[in-house]
Structure 1
Amino acid sequence: MGSDFAVGESAYSTDQITAWLEHIRLPTSYSEYIENPAGFPKTFESLRALMRCQISRFPYENLSVHYSPTHLVDIDPHNLYEKLMGPERIGRRGRGGYCMELSIFFHHMLRGLGFQVYMTAVRNRGRKDGVPGGEYLGFTHINNIIHLPSGKRFSVDVGFGGDGPTSPLSLDEQGRAVQNLGRQEVRLIHDNIPKQKLKEPKLWIYQYRNAPENDWNSFYSFAELEFFQHDFEVLNWWTSAKTLHRWTVLVVRFLRDGEDVQYSRDPDLPLDNDVKIVGKVMLVDTVVKVNLGGKTSTVHSFDSEEGRLHALKVYFGISLTQEETQSIRGWDKALD
């Protein structure tokens, strides 16, 4: 199916892609491709390594909704690069983003490496007490679909936060359970959602179960339909203005094997083996929680803006500018 793809350019230069490859701390077996991004292997193993390095280096966060003058999100690829990688003029401060930021950024990195990839929009289900249920709502999420030279197709979602997959999910082996964190399993099935009037095309449905003996439940659905930057500009306006967890301050960072719960810009990790995701650290309003593949526990709490800014730096490596920190004043999620 690779011949179906038109040649597309990345929004990022070779130098920018090289800087990203250095930043995500790839296993040493990929080091030779940092200076030769176009030669990067187009295999499942290499795609999985890139995905896991990406989700453990760039947190899922909605801070721009709370800590910015506009309280909106900018998804222009060039502005995303400066936000996530950090402005070179001040020594790369670096941030994370929400789903559209992270996935559009990752999309252009994959294109720069020569992967055949396109973006599609996703319908999430509503939640109650964190558990998805009920109707599939409008398009408020984003996903990347990759076609490898082998002919295999994969869904690679790097922006679903703590509930996201930690491995590419096959579109050719629907229903195959893949181990996620701890005993949790995830999978894609190809089926209809209840609100569909037309039974074709069927949709891909992302499901999870927290243990093999549990029932499957569904998070979201998507079709193999290409969406473009202009489509996501429309969707982003609604999502960042009306949803995007505006009722909470949320940051999630996946942990690689060997990483400490507290953030280190240059962790002392072995880089000559497979990248393994073993847990996640989460800031939710006034607490920091950790899940190492089992039960979630609170490791830190605070009751002031100063305390939250300190937690962002210690656990996620995020330092906000003075303008950003002042922007939350008068906002309903401000702590003081």
Structure 2
Amino acid sequence: MQTQERPVYTKVQLDRYFDRLKLPTPSRKYDVSSASAEDALEYLSVLQKHHLAAIPFENLTLHYSPHRQISLRSDELYKKIVESDGRGGYCMENSCIFGILLRSLGFQLYSAGARVKEGEVFNGWNHMINLVKIGEHRYVVDVGFGPNGPIHPLKLDRSSTVSNHISPASMRLQWKNIVGNTNPDQRLWVYEHKINDKHDFEEMYCFTELEFLPSDYEIMNYYTSTSLKVLFTQKIVCAKMLIGGPENDQIIGVVILQNDVKWRIHGEKKREQKFESEEDRLKALDEVFGIKLSPVERECIKGTVSEIKKQ
């Protein structure tokens, strides 16, 4: 039986990737295949943290490009995210390239699909996560969900263990049935997030341990990048985590750009910048995220529903 080979990056490519993540040279490891489970998990956590802080969750290609097409090819992802200043991608782009990074470093993993919850129901398969095996345990690793997504690996543990998110928030996994299932015995992993202790946990998305193939993501990617029913085609979003704290090594907040840009530290809004025109947003993309769009890209948003028009 033939198996489909998955792409990996060379050491030269990995070094450039590490540069993009601003990963300190002493922290760089190129092969974890012989590392202890404890060391491998610690390194995985470091990589996820730096990825969330360096590479934004964004859908700019769907609004500022002539073609408005998202490619999941490994070479195209590398060119866009690693070799371009400031760029990132939405879930399938960020999780796909992060999965290639992990595989190149010797981690055992595969990807799976997830259903995001909108309102009271879970929608169709439109999100991508990675499941990494370390020792005897499997961990869900997600770098493509945005501000409320996991900030470190979560072990697939049916005890519903609560983990710290950006203080005062927390997160957990639950193994349970979901609204919409007609089979009461069906169970899925449900990722939940809680803003603080005054609020209840909210379901963010659910997933199974079934491995998804590249062809599955081609179908999912086509829908999420073209359907007028999907938020990504209607609104612009660009967000990344902020690192700080006493050791300058903890995720302490997030900066989010849509029709304005907000900085939130430990759950509190610390700064907000309003946009009065499209030029204001383009300037913020440059100054806050380091994303410099070309004249052609800037022109492509004119006349669309997502353009900020002067009052």
Do the structures match in fold with TM over 0.5? Answer: yes
Q: In structure 2, what is the equivalent of residue 146 of structure 1?
A: 132
TM-score (structure 1 length as normaliser): 0.84
1:67 aligned to 2:59? no
The residue correspondences of 1:296-315 to structure 2 (distance < 5 A) are: 296-315=269-288
Superposition pairs of residues 264-283 of structure 1, within 5 angstroms: 275-283=249-257
Q: Partners in 1 of 2:200 and 2:86 — Cα distance?
A: 39
2:23 pairs, out of 17, 21, 26, with 26
Give yes or no for the alignment of 1:120 onto 2:112.
yes
Tell me which amino acid in the other structure corresponds to 1:308: R
Q: Please name the residue that 1:241 is paired with.
A: 226
Residues 1:212 and 2:197 aligned together: yes
1:47 and 2:44 correspond:
yes
- Which of 149, 159, 180 in structure 1 is aligned with 2:144? 159
Alpha-carbon shift at residue 159 of structure 1 (Å): 0.4
Task: Mark the CA change 1:9 to 1:283 in structure 2 (over 3 Å): closer, same or farther.
Answer: same
**Cα distance, 1:225 vs. partner?**
0.5
* Matches for 1:196-211 after TM superposition, within 5 Å: 196-211=181-196
- Greater displacement, 106-115 / 16-25: 16-25
Distance in 2 (CA, whole Å) between partners of 1:147 and 1:159 is: 19
CA offsets, 1:43-98, max 9 Å, x none? 22111101000010000111111101122322222111100012xxxxx4240110
Gapped regions of structure 2 (runs ≥ 5): none
Greater displacement, 246-255 / 40-49: 40-49
Q: Determine if contact 1:107/1:117 at 8 Å carries over to the other structure.
A: yes
Check whether the contact 1:120–1:226 (CA below 8 A) recurs between aligned residues: yes
Distance 1:335 1:46, change over 3 A: same
Aligned twin of 1:100: 92
Structure 1 unaligned residues grouped into runs of 5+ = 1-5, 87-91, 127-132, 259-269
Deviation at 1:288, TM superposition (A): 0.9
With the length of structure 2 as denominator, give the TM-score of the two structures: 0.90
Whole-angstrom distance in 1 between the partners of 2:5 and 2:184:
32
Say what the alpha-carbon RMSD is for the aligned residues. 2.2
Match of 1:290 in 2: 263
Structure 1 residues 29 and 325: alpha-carbon distance in aligned structure 2, compared to 1, 3 A threshold: same
2:304 is aligned with 1:331: yes
Give the one of 12, 15, 32 matched to 2:9. Answer: 12
Question: Structure 2 residue aligned with 1:134, among 120, 125, 128?
Answer: 120
**Structure 2 residue 163 is matched with structure 1 residue 189:** no
What is the rounded CA distance, in whole Å, between the counterparts of 2:267 and 2:145 in structure 1? 19
Identity of aligned residues (%): 33
**Residues of 2 paired with 1:60 and 1:39: CA distance?**
29
Equivalent-residue separation in structure 1 for 2:256 and 2:107 (angstroms):
31
Match of 1:252 among 239, 247, 252: 239
Change (3 A) 1:224 1:309: same
C-alpha distance in 2 between matches for 1:117 and 1:194: 29
Alpha-carbon deviation of 1:274? 7.9
